[in-house]
């Protein structure tokens, strides 16, 4: 069965400090209740790009410690426009016991492809872990072509891609050209078409609360029941629409609170949840989960 990964959230207290207990509770909820296949730690959903290096290390420590003995896959996202930090984090998580790392494409400075390739080669050069490229052009502004991926995959340590890209023509071409590479879909709202293009699984933020329905969709697809899979995707997309309209990160945490998980707050400059957002999150909980 194709694997489902939750993009782990980070709990913060009202002052913006990491809430260790809350973060542990989210790891446990994903393992014990969602029965997730894996966790993607330190990604966009974890508000990673607003954390300092020491804070990132602490999140990696919490996740692997709390997941100990659970037999789930853990992927540590170590990417950063600061290559020195990315390399430091790659070594750090390898020493912690992570077997797979990921790295977002370097962003902001309009790096050319040779600079991007150098970045990835450097991150994996001194570690034994395997790397999954994190491609999310809508947020980074970095689009990789089929030939770009081919050149990255020449490095045997680069085993695949977290593909958060709406270009499904490129996705089909990737799967056709690289049948043995790991391709994990990154858009929860497009899980079904990604499954149809033979991805190996999916990583997403809404799987923190919607994993059971997503897993049922994967099972229906693999059983050939496309009508059921389509119905489940429609229901998930109704939820995703409501989450997006209410402010997705704060709302995910508020729904988790309703589910008994101390998910904490978002970190500034993300806005604190207003009374209206809190009311909206409660309606979402009651509509979909009560």
> Which residues participate in the annotated binding site?
45, 203
Token couple for 108:
């902001």
CB distance 38 to 75 below 8 Å = yes
**Rg of the chain's alpha carbons, rounded to an integer?**
18
Token couple for 226:
């496309």
162 is catalytic: yes
| Catalytic hit among 2, 162, 215, 253 | 162
Token couple for 89:
């984090």
Task: Give, for 282, the enclosing helix (H) or strand (E).
Answer: helix 275-288
Beta-carbon contacts of residue 274 (< 8 Å; ≥ 6 apart): none
CB distance 206 to 238 below 8 Å = no
Neighbours of 151 (CB within 10 A): 16
CB distance 165 to 199 below 8 Å = no
Beta pairing partners, 77: 102
How many residues appear in the chain? 290
- Binding positions for pyruvate are 45, 203
Cα–Cα distance list, 235 to 11, 215, 256, 279 (Å): 27, 13, 19, 21
The number of angstroms, rounded, from the C-alpha of 228 to the middle of its chain's C-alpha atoms is 25
Phi then psi for 3, rounded to 5 degrees? -90, 145
| Catalytic hit among 134, 163, 249, 265 | 134
134 is catalytic: yes
Token couple for 176:
């056709």
CB distance 165 to 173 below 8 Å = no
Q: Which residues are catalytic?
A: 134, 162
């Amino acid at each position: 069965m194709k694997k489902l990964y939750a993009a782990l959230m980070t709990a913060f207290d009202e002052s913006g400090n990491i809430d260790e207990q809350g973060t542990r509770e989210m790891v446990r909820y994903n393992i014990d209740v969602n029965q997730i296949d894996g966790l993607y730690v330190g990604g966009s959903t974890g508000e990673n790009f607003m954390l300092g290096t020491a804070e990132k290390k602490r999140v990696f420590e919490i996740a692997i410690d709390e997941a100990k003995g659970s037999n789930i896959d853990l992927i540590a996202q170590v990417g950063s426009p600061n290559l020195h930090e990315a390399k430091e984090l790659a070594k750090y998580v390898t020493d912690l016991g992570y077997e797979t790392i990921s790295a977002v494409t370097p962003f902001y400075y309009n790096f050319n492809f040779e600079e991007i390739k150098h970045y990835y080669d450097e991150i994996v050069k001194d570690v034994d872990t395997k790397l999954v490229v994190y491609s999310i052009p809508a947020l980074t502004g970095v689009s990789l072509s089929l030939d770009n991926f081919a050149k990255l995959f020449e490095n045997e340590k680069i085993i695949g891609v977290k593909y958060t890209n709406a270009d499904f023509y490129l996705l089909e071409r990737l799967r056709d050209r690289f049948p043995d590479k790991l391709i994990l879909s990154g858009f929860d709202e497009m899980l079904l078409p990604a499954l149809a293009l033979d991805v190996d699984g999916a990583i997403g933020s809404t799987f923190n609360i919607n994993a059971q329905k997503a897993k049922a969709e994967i099972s229906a697809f693999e059983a050939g029941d496309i009508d059921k899979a389509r119905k489940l995707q429609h229901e998930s997309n109704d939820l995703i629409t409501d989450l997006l309209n209410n402010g997705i990160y704060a709302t995910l945490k508020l729904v988790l609170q309703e589910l008994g998980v101390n998910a904490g707050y978002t970190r500034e400059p993300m806005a604190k949840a207003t009374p209206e957002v809190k009311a909206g999150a409660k309606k979402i909980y009651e509509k979909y989960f009560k």
